Amino acid sequence: MKILVVEDEQKLNAAITQGLRSRGYTVDTAFDGKEGERIAREYSYDCIVLDVLMPVMDGLTMCKNLRAAGVQTPVLFLTAKSDVHEKIAGFNVGADDYVAKPFSFDELVARIRAITRRAPNVQGDVLTLDGLLLDTRSQIVTINGKPVDLTLREYALLEYFLRNQNAVVTREDILSHVWDRFYDSFSNVVDVHLKNLRKKLPKDYAKRIQTVWGKGYRLVS
């Protein structure tokens, strides 16, 4: 999954970003609401982690603007305030959940999983393909009960394919969901990681990731 973190405190922004990436998420960052709104309008995300009190534009205004523009990405607010009126203000502009600082990182991840499960077309915590199981909570992949050792990028690729079974996805689709917004669209990074992923899967699973010439790729269920 791909997450946008909008937090003006640089150390906290870096800590959240590093923690999420270590758990297999693709993460983009912004440090004020104006920058965050621009990025959220330009790119697609599964969740936005958004601070309330920020310079240039606060999180409430950013969320309100996104909802007015039709952006329905789930939003999780971060705030130093736990006052009930602050929470109500967040929900009134379209927030999906709220975490008060300081917070447990495990709680943050759990809440991200909870609000993304409620989003349309999200299948849940465990994705399956016959005997293959990918558990997004533990980041463990097994085939007929045997673990498959994948890198974080290979895991993210497999998760994206499992969430889009039988659909043709372009290289641009993959880059925009599995890599951050600073990827080099002219590199062969997708081909390299996809080749490595296929090598680590049994042949009868690897051949299900088909190349659709001139269009992209498709995982056949």
CA distance 68 to 54: 20
| Mean predicted confidence (pLDDT) in 61-71 | 94
CB 6 within 8 A of CB 59: yes
CATH number for the domain that contains residue 19: 3.40.50.2300
Output the six-digit token pair for 119: 């989003």
End residue of a domain, out of 88, 117, 146: 117
Any idea which residue has 């621009």 for tokens?
38
For 116-152, the pLDDT digits (tens) are: 876 545 556 788 888 999 988 888 899 999 999 998 8
For 159-190, the pLDDT digits (tens) are: 999 988 999 988 888 887 887 777 666 678 88
CATH number for the domain that contains residue 200: 1.10.10.10
Any idea which residue has 């950013």 for tokens?
62
Instruction: Kindly report whether the peptide bond that precedes residue 102 is cis, defined as omega within 30 degrees of 0.
Output: yes
31 and 111 together in one domain: yes
State the pTM of this model. 0.71
What pLDDT is attached to residue 101?
Answer: 87
Cite the DSSP H helix spans in 93-141. Answer: 105-117
Backbone angles phi, psi at 3, to 5 degrees: -125, 140
Q: Which of 215, 199, 204 is closest to 167 using CA atoms? A: 215
For 203-221, the pLDDT digits (tens) are: 999 999 999 988 889 999 8
What pLDDT is attached to residue 41?
Answer: 94
108 and 135 together in one domain: no
Structural domains in the chain (count): 2
Q: Supply the range of the domain harboring residue 44.
A: 2-117
91 and 74 together in one domain: yes
For 79-105, the pLDDT digits (tens) are: 877 677 778 888 899 999 999 888 899
For 1-30, the pLDDT digits (tens) are: 899 999 999 999 999 999 999 888 889 999
Count of other CB atoms within 10 angstroms of residue 220: 11
What pLDDT is attached to residue 124?
Answer: 65
109 and 156 together in one domain: no
136 and 109 together in one domain: no
- The 3-state DSSP composition of the chain as helix, strand, coil percent (nearest 5) reads 40, 20, 40
